[in-house]
Amino acid sequence: MQKSKIVIGCMSWGKWGKQFSTKEQIDMIQFCVANRNTTFDHADIYGDYSTESDFGKAFVESGIEREEIQLVSKCGIQLIGNSRPNKVKYYQYDKKYIIDSLHQSLKNLKTEYLDTFLLHRPSPLMQPNEIADTIAELQESGKIIDFGVSNFTPSQVDLITDKIPIKVNQIEFSLTQHAAMLNGSLDKMLQKEIEPMCWSPLGSVFRKENQQSKRIKDVLTKLSEKYAVSEDVLLLSWILKHPAKISPVIGTTNKNRILKANKALEINLDLEDWFLLLQASTGNEVA
């Protein structure tokens, strides 16, 4: 099954957020699938390495078939926390660690394969050949379908794609954090036919009270009347208009906000409105 365009980020489902019970997680999974949000984004580190297993337990009890959903997870970050006696936060991408992390995620999520498996952050010490050989082995075994990266720059993407194809790059992208349009990241993904996923898609519009947010909200207020949708929907539709076909990863656990996010798929911003929002973000007209 094809991934849903609006991806459900699960980072705040567990200890790092709402601390959902198994029953609440079952309810959320069923709600999302019923509304065609079938792609769930995880990482091994979420909830101090506990959120995947919480989700997996709920998924098994949800009555939903594995083929109805898509599971995304990431590995590579070693956290300082209660689960591991690390002295420092660091990145690890040797073959054994990648394979062990993948197997642990499969066990936690109660699945035999991941639809997408990402390297969570680039490491200055990563060995492209070792990574490529490891991922190829995991793909051949059927344990992962698509391979990708997260937060990789264009040159780091090249470093890996020279050895093995990348299907996804999950990056930070929003109206208030749109550096990926300027530093070549999205251009690279268009060129290489890599699917962008973006975290924190609403940016800082509702989190910071500053001149940028004020300018953006002034424009959003007018456009909300024009398109008959809420401001957060417009922020997602601004992302969706980009030709790279970005999939927003939404972190909300509020059902109404998930439903509103889906409305962004129905909005096609006029070209001038898209640039009005960009101008509001930068404070300057385009060159």
Q: Which two tokens stand for residue 198?
A: 């973006």
| Three-state SS at 261 | helix
Q: Which two tokens stand for residue 42?
A: 């995880």
Nearest to 74 by CA among 144, 16, 134: 144
Helix axes 211-227, 271-282, angle to 10 degrees: 160
Helix axes 95-109, 128-140, angle to 10 degrees: 40
Q: Which two tokens stand for residue 121?
A: 């952050």
Please, which contacts does 102-107 make with residues 24 or more away whose CB atoms are closer than 8 Å? 102/75, 102/138, 102/143, 102/144, 103/143, 104/44, 105/42, 105/44, 105/52, 105/73, 105/75, 106/143, 107/53, 107/56
Helix axes 255-263, 231-240, angle to 10 degrees: 50
The Cα 99–Cα 196 span in angstroms is 24
Residue 227 known to be catalytic? no
Catalytically active residues, by annotation: 46
